[in-house]
Amino acid sequence: MSMSKPRLGRGLVALVAVALVVTACSSGASPAPATQAPAESQAAATQAPAESQAALGATTIRSNEHEPVPAASVKAMVDYCTAKTGVTAPVAITNHNDFQDQFNTFMQGTPEDIVKWFTGERLRFPARNGLLTPIDDVWQTIAANYTEGMAKASQGDDGMKYAVPIVSYPWVVLYRKSLFAEKGYTVPKTWDEFVALAQKMQADGLIPLAFGDKDGWPAMGTFDILNMRLNGNKFHLDLLAGNEKWTDPKVQAVFKKWAELLTYAQPDPLGRTWQEAAQAWANNKAAMYFLGTFASQQVAPENLDDVDFFPFPTLGTEWDSEMGIDAPVDAWILSKAPKNLPAAEAMLACFATPEAQLAFLGKDQSQIPAAKVTDTSAFTPQQMKMAEIIGASGGVAQFLDRDTRSDFAGAQGMQTLLQDFIKNPSQDLAAYTAKIQGVYDSLPPQ
Amino acid sequence: MTSDVSGSAAPTPSGVGAAAASKQKGRSLLLTRRDKWILALLLGIPAFVHIFLVWVPTFASIVLSFTSWNGIGGLDRIKFVGIDNYRVLVTTYPPFWPAIQHNLIWLGVFMLIATPVGIFFAVLLDKEIRGTRFYQGALYLPVVLSLAIIGFIAQLFLSTDQGLINGVLASLGVKPVDWLGNSSLNLWAVLIFASWRQVGYVMILYLAGLKGVDPTLREAAKVDGATETQTFFRVVFPVMRPINIVVLVITVIESLRAFDLAFIINRGLNGLELLSVLVTNNIIGEASRIGFGSAIAVVLLVVAVGPIIVYLSRTLREEAR
């Protein structure tokens, strides 16, 4: 007996080793899900419901905001809505990137009632696949809070509403006021002014435009803005929806313009994350940075008031007046089979109010509420400007990876393809755009 | 059940007696009914586990590789598309050929540089030079670190704006080098870190093997007038055949399943495409191209299993002779 036990153990070890080796070969590695257990929101326990709807009970929430500041924002908003509606809701948190990767699987399992997600094609895809509950009845009460553009962004293919947008932010050219004042630079409105300014900056020993695309997605913003300014918002969205062809000469014009822009951008962008590029800009090594306003997260707190921005310059086309822009929207959705539908809907309706969204933003100045805000007294000058820029745009897009199918936008599609262009901007654009179209055409029908 | 298995796995007195009594008779007679059950159980459980954890998923991957499925909804939404996935893979899918090339380069560097260096270190340390323990520890250290951590270390060294190497270069007045972003450089930079770990891994395996070599063999070789080099290549190396096979298989597997470093550094984009990352990006990522990802996994399986089968069958045939 004393002999048989170790033998059995050794056999098992050997077996496990063999299994590990073979599975490692055939499946690569699979990252373990990094989910945290739900943390009961404290206020829910301590604050008494303000209104007499306590009968609604509790709902559940899954958030992908794992970093401290945004996680606190979610908590602030949920606390506000718990006080307002009497619905209690524990918030479970998953790491942002992991959640994105696991989303499809997660929504097919037993997800929480209310889930953090995006709008655009990224919303239409799960809606089309029956992973969400439509919330048209909620929208009947909240429609007045939103612009028509926001309402449209919350829609599925079937015209039903599936999301409650809460915050948004524009993609703009950021700069530091002190540097512009010191060097006597003025904000460029047109391409020619922009080029003249960039050349002046180069003469001053500055990098005109910070740029990093190691992550694969920041470059998409540049494609979006150039395409919208050259070819209009409608062509841009049709292209991303597959209704226009990448082989269209209009697309080649975008890359030609981009090649020109790259001569003013920070060199070697593919080895640099957006955070590192933002650091170069924040430290006055680069004078401007084209990114979402969240780039200011990389600026030291005492310099935040020094941050300013302007919309990407016009390119002298018929679309100049449209001022198309990327303004991604973060939203909350209702999962397929909510356990407590009335409570979840009451919570979502509360999320749709400007007050709840202001509670979400708190001290975060890098975004604005998605709902229409009548009393903007709480806004910082930057937030006023963001609202102004988005409001003045006649063509708001989400972002390339939210406006097109995810298997095309991801690492196996546009991320790789755009990096290919950045590596070699002088390549044969006809062949290059044909390659993009080839990848799009190889995808299975949706 | 466990107590039953361990309790009855030991030969019963009657079994031992029977074995002693009937030594010349056929083997089957040695097994009582109870022994047969135990044998079936002991072989059955591992076989079951093996089949369900290894062969069923493998077979499922192969079947899925001929389908198109986004992983949503029931199995009835799986659509067979013939060899379409493979056709797209070799004709249109941009990262496929770079990934094959990078996996082969990875394999080449491990086979020709990292593994021989590891063996060399093992032989040196086997000489009991002064400070052997320290060198062992220092060389083995990276094996203890997870590849994810090595990925972070690599970035601390190699980053263009904030990395150590470029910091030193800048202080010498040299223009910074884009180690991580230049697609003709970054694979080699990453391979240095991967090899750093592989060397330690091979070294420790080989060192254990060297300790097991009968010292009289070396003495005999010495008496016969063999040099150190001759002793190693003509006597020690052939004696270590089992370890050599293990090291070879590990080298092949480690280079084909290379994943963590590339994924940590840039999610396997731009010069760091690897088959394993492509599988992950397609199957686990938001894109959910289960069928297409399975096709890449099958390619990886063939690439991984092919050389091992060829090598093992040759070795076994030689041994049979």
> What would the pLDDT profile of B158-201 be if each residue is shown by its tens digit?
888 788 888 888 888 888 888 888 888 889 999 999 999 999 99
Closest by CA to A108, choosing from A129, A136, A134, is A129
The two tokens of residue A233 are 């918002």
Q: Decide if A195 touches B, using CB distance below 8 A.
A: no
Could B50 and A15 be called an inter-chain contact, meaning their C-beta atoms sit closer than 8 Å? yes
What are the chain A neighbours of B287 within 8 Å (beta carbons)?
406-407, 410, 412-413
What are the chain A neighbours of B70 within 8 Å (beta carbons)?
104, 129, 444
- Look at residue A389 and tell me if it is in a domain: no
Could A417 and B94 be called an inter-chain contact, meaning their C-beta atoms sit closer than 8 Å? yes
**Per-residue pLDDT, B16:** 44
- Look at residue A62 and tell me if it is in a domain: yes
The overall longest dimension of chain A from CA atoms, in Å, is: 89
**Per-residue pLDDT, B28:** 55
CATH number of the domain that residue B294 is part of: 1.10.3720.10
Q: For B263-291, how does the pLDDT look when each residue is reduced to its tens digit (9 = 90+)?
A: 888 888 888 899 999 998 888 877 778 88
- Look at residue B113 and tell me if it is in a domain: yes
Q: Which of A25, A103, A130 is the closest to B286 by Cβ?
A: A103
The two tokens of residue B186 are 């970054």
Number of domains in chain A: 2
* Strands A163-168, A207-210: pairing kind: unpaired
* Strands A396-397, A325-326: pairing kind: parallel
Q: Determine how many CB atoms are found less than 10 A away from the CB of residue A370.
A: 30
- Look at residue A35 and tell me if it is in a domain: no
Q: For residues B142 and B122, what is the distance between their CA atoms, to the nearest angstrom?
A: 16
Q: For residues B218 and B229, what is the distance between their CA atoms, to the nearest angstrom?
A: 11
Q: Determine how many CB atoms are found less than 10 A away from the CB of residue A195.
A: 17
What are the chain A neighbours of B183 within 8 Å (beta carbons)?
270, 423
Instruction: Count CA atoms closer than 13 A to A83's CA, side-chain side.
Output: 13
Same domain for A234 and A334, yes or no, is no
Same domain for A354 and A297, yes or no, is no
Reduced to 3 states (helix: H, G, I; strand: E, B; else coil), residue A334 is strand
The two tokens of residue B52 are 């369900």
Q: Using an 8 Å Cβ cutoff, are A315 and A258 in contact?
A: no
**Per-residue pLDDT, A310:** 95
Closest by CA to B170, choosing from A257, A146, A285, A32, is A285
Q: H or E stretch including A204?
A: none
The two tokens of residue A82 are 């718990």
Q: Which of A8, A272, A419 is the closest to B161 by Cβ?
A: A272
B-contacting residues of A 279-338, CB under 8 Å? 279-280
Same domain for A256 and A403, yes or no, is yes
What are the chain B neighbours of A108 within 8 Å (beta carbons)?
72
Number of domains in chain B: 1
Q: Using an 8 Å Cβ cutoff, are B300 and B189 in contact?
A: no
Distance of CA B299 to the CA centre of its chain: 16
Could A268 and B178 be called an inter-chain contact, meaning their C-beta atoms sit closer than 8 Å? yes
* Strands A114-118, A329-334: pairing kind: antiparallel
- Look at residue B259 and tell me if it is in a domain: yes
Cα nearest neighbour of B287 on chain A: A407
Same domain for A165 and A192, yes or no, is no
Same domain for A310 and A214, yes or no, is yes
Same domain for A309 and A346, yes or no, is no
Closest by CA to B248, choosing from B150, B191, B314, B187, is B314
What are the chain B neighbours of A22 within 8 Å (beta carbons)?
54, 58
Mean pLDDT value of segment B88-100: 89
- Look at residue A8 and tell me if it is in a domain: no
Interface residue of A5, A412, A442 to substitute, partner B, most B CBs within 10 Å? A412
Q: Using an 8 Å Cβ cutoff, are A7 and A45 in contact?
A: no
Does the complex come out with an ipTM higher than 0.90?
Answer: no
Which amino acid is located at B257 in the chain? R
User: What is the span of the domain harbouring residue B229?
Assistant: 93-150+182-320
Q: For residues A314 and A319, what is the distance between their CA atoms, to the nearest angstrom?
A: 8
pTM: 0.80
Q: For residues B178 and B161, what is the distance between their CA atoms, to the nearest angstrom?
A: 9
Q: What is the CA radius of gyration of chain A?
A: 24
Same domain for A87 and A191, yes or no, is no
Task: Report the DSSP beta bridge partners of residue A335.
Answer: A132
- Look at residue B11 and tell me if it is in a domain: no
Could B285 and A11 be called an inter-chain contact, meaning their C-beta atoms sit closer than 8 Å? no
Q: Which of B160, B260, B278 is the closest to A272 by Cβ?
A: B160
CATH number of the domain that residue A46 is part of: 3.40.190.10
Q: For B100-147, how does the pLDDT look when each residue is reduced to its tens digit (9 = 90+)?
A: 999 999 999 999 999 999 999 998 888 878 888 888 888 888 888 888
Averaged pLDDT score across all residues of chain B: 83
Reduced to 3 states (helix: H, G, I; strand: E, B; else coil), residue A87 is coil
Q: Using an 8 Å Cβ cutoff, are A288 and A175 in contact?
A: yes
Same domain for A188 and A313, yes or no, is yes
Cα nearest neighbour of A435 on chain B: B92
Q: How far apart are the first and last CA of chain B?
A: 44
User: What is the span of the domain harbouring residue A159?
Assistant: 42-169+328-373
Reduced to 3 states (helix: H, G, I; strand: E, B; else coil), residue B29 is helix
Q: Between A341-351 and A68-85, two packed helices, what is the crossing angle to 10 degrees? A: 110
Q: What contacts A101, CB < 8 A, 6 or more positions away?
A: A31, B284, B285, B286
Same domain for A366 and A418, yes or no, is no
- Look at residue A26 and tell me if it is in a domain: no
- Look at residue B280 and tell me if it is in a domain: yes
Number of inter-chain CB pairs under 8 A, A vs B: 186
Same domain for A73 and A222, yes or no, is no
Could B6 and A5 be called an inter-chain contact, meaning their C-beta atoms sit closer than 8 Å? yes
Q: Using an 8 Å Cβ cutoff, are B30 and B46 in contact?
A: no
Burial B278-309 (b: 16+ CB within 10 A, else e): bbbbbbbbbbbbbbbbbbbbbbbbebbbeebe
Region of residue B2 (phi > 0: left; psi between -120 and 50: alpha; otherwise: beta) = alpha
B-contacting residues of A 206-225, CB under 8 Å? 214-216
The two tokens of residue A200 are 């002046």
Reduced to 3 states (helix: H, G, I; strand: E, B; else coil), residue B80 is strand
Q: For B192-251, how does the pLDDT look when each residue is reduced to its tens digit (9 = 90+)?
A: 999 999 999 999 999 888 888 888 888 888 888 888 888 888 888 888 888 888 888 888
Which amino acid is located at A22 in the chain? V
Q: For residues B108 and B199, what is the distance between their CA atoms, to the nearest angstrom?
A: 14
- Look at residue B83 and tell me if it is in a domain: no
Q: For residues A85 and A355, what is the distance between their CA atoms, to the nearest angstrom?
A: 13
- Look at residue B74 and tell me if it is in a domain: no
Integer angstrom CA distances of residue B266 from A112, B187, B319 = 31, 11, 46
Same domain for A352 and A434, yes or no, is no
Same domain for A354 and A412, yes or no, is no
Dihedral of alpha carbons A279, A282, A286, A290, sign: positive
Closest by CA to B54, choosing from A15, A368, A298, is A15
Q: Which residues of chain A have pLDDT under 50?
A: 1-53
φ, ψ at A163 (rounded to 5°): -145, 155
Could B280 and A30 be called an inter-chain contact, meaning their C-beta atoms sit closer than 8 Å? yes
What are the chain A neighbours of B71 within 8 Å (beta carbons)?
104-105
Which amino acid is located at A347 in the chain? M
Could A271 and B54 be called an inter-chain contact, meaning their C-beta atoms sit closer than 8 Å? no
- Look at residue B193 and tell me if it is in a domain: yes
